[in-house]
Amino acid sequence: MTPQPGSAGDVLTLISAGSATTRSDLARLTGLARSTISQRVDALIERGLIEETESGESTGGRPPRQLRLQTEDHAFAGVDLGATHCRIALMDISGSVLAECEDSLLIGEGPETVLAHVDQRIDHLLAQVGRPRKALRALGMGVPGPVEFATGRPNNPPIMPGWNDYPVPEYFEGVEVLVDNDVNVMALGEHRGAFPEAAHLLFVKVGTGIGCGIMAEGRLHRGAQGSAGDIGHIRVSGHDNAGCRCGNSACLEAVAGGAAIARRLTELGLPAESGGDVVELVQAGNTQALRLVREAGRLIGEVLASLVNFFNPEVIVIGGALSRVHEHLLAGIRETVYRRSLPLATNHLTITPSRTGINAATLGAGILAIEHYLSPENINRIVNA
């Protein structure tokens, strides 16, 4: 891609970041000719992306007109699809949540049924805030499985029957759609929502399975094939007889995931089917469940200790269903990470339960959509269209 310093996209970036609030700021920051600034600003106003108001602070003379994002005319949707739920947040271009909703929804019903439901819910939310359908500019979606990010197609997702290679973006007409793995959008949501200053953050989701979203220098690291963060199949020591659905043994997920803990509790005579059942047993004070969750924390900590040495993150966030009993999980994780990682890497390391909680994914999905829409490349495309 050819860099275009001084393009409309760059001008908008300066305005949305708060670096420039007047035309003079823009001239000073970019070195663009006055006439070029006018051209850029006029194009952005015409496209409804920014507005210019008279409300600047007075310094005696005529107050300078202020430039800012125009937050009235657009809407963005952040969609969080889980195995059994659908959450949606409608946001304006600044990332403020305008309205949200949550339903039970089985992802296994297949893409047509699920996406029709999403589409209808977005219509309801738009109606609720009085914005027309055409105000919807972009939609971000997190799904519980691997996705080829460039095309938005799920890639052999184990718990999403019927979704393999389904062209999700094409379902929604006239709107940009970005689809990503749920733990990636959670990492993005947690970063922007709770730790915007952290250079490097890991978001570890401990649910039925175990996955990790990676923020490096404030951006999602997806890796060469988009499979980065797949830590559920890293080998842990001392469990070589624990077979995993991937065909290997001793995978982290096969011994420390919610499903694995539920299975072991069942073997101990405490019927449990899911991570949610495990959480209920812990909350009811069952000591077997508590012991297994803490032991799972130690095993997760063993893997995270390696990743701390390798990646040296500033923050590790623990989310997912099992984080509802995070005191037990985090005790095990912290114990192992602080024992096995190098002091230089743990001195300033924060290990914390998710602060955005169940909103991490909708927030992150919406931000994915907004940041894509506001990217200089996309703005230049819109302005030059």
Does residue 344 interact with its own copies by CB under 8 A? yes
Does residue 349 interact with its own copies by CB under 8 A? yes
Does residue 221 interact with its own copies by CB under 8 A? yes
Which of 47, 85, 340, 372 is the binder for its own copies (CB under 8 A)? 340
Residues 270-309 that bind its own copies (CB under 8 A): 302-303, 305-307, 309
Which of 167, 199, 268, 271 is the binder for its own copies (CB under 8 A)? 199
Residues 56-95 that bind its own copies (CB under 8 A): none
The smaller minimum CB distance to its own copies, of residues 114 and 333, is found at 333
The smaller minimum CB distance to its own copies, of residues 7 and 70, is found at 7
Does residue 243 interact with its own copies by CB under 8 A? no
To its own copies, the closest distance from the beta carbon of 155 in angstroms equals 7
Which of 233, 264, 326, 334 is the binder for its own copies (CB under 8 A)? 233
Q: 3-state SS string over the chain?
A: CCCCCCCHHHHHHHHHCCCCCCHHHHHHHHCCCHHHHHHHHHHHHHCCCEEEECCCCCCCCCCCCEEEECCCCCEEEEEEECCCEEEEEEECCCCCEEEEEEEECCHHHCHHHHHHHHHHHHHHHHHHHCCCHHHEEEEEEEECCCEECCCCEECCCCCCCCCCCCCHHHHCCCCEEEEEEHHHHHHHHHHHHHCCCCCEEEEEEECCCEEEEEEECCEECCCCCCCCCCHHHCECCCCCCCECCCCCECEHHHHHCHHHHHHHHHHCCCCCCCHHHHHHHHHCCCHHHHHHHHHHHHHHHHHHHHHHHHHCCCEEEEECHHHHHHHHHHHHHHHHHHHHCCHHHHCCCEEEECCCHHHHHHHHHHHHHHHHHCCHHHHHHHHHC
Does residue 223 interact with its own copies by CB under 8 A? yes
The smaller minimum CB distance to its own copies, of residues 145 and 366, is found at 145
Residues 19-48 that bind its own copies (CB under 8 A): 19, 29-33, 35-36, 40
Residues 132-191 that bind its own copies (CB under 8 A): 146, 155
To its own copies, the closest distance from the beta carbon of 243 in angstroms equals 14
The residues binding its own copies (CB under 8 A) are 2-7, 10, 13-14, 19, 29-33, 35-36, 40, 146, 155, 198-200, 212, 214, 216-217, 219, 221-231, 233-235, 237-238, 246, 248, 302-303, 305-307, 309-314, 339-340, 342, 344-345, 347-349
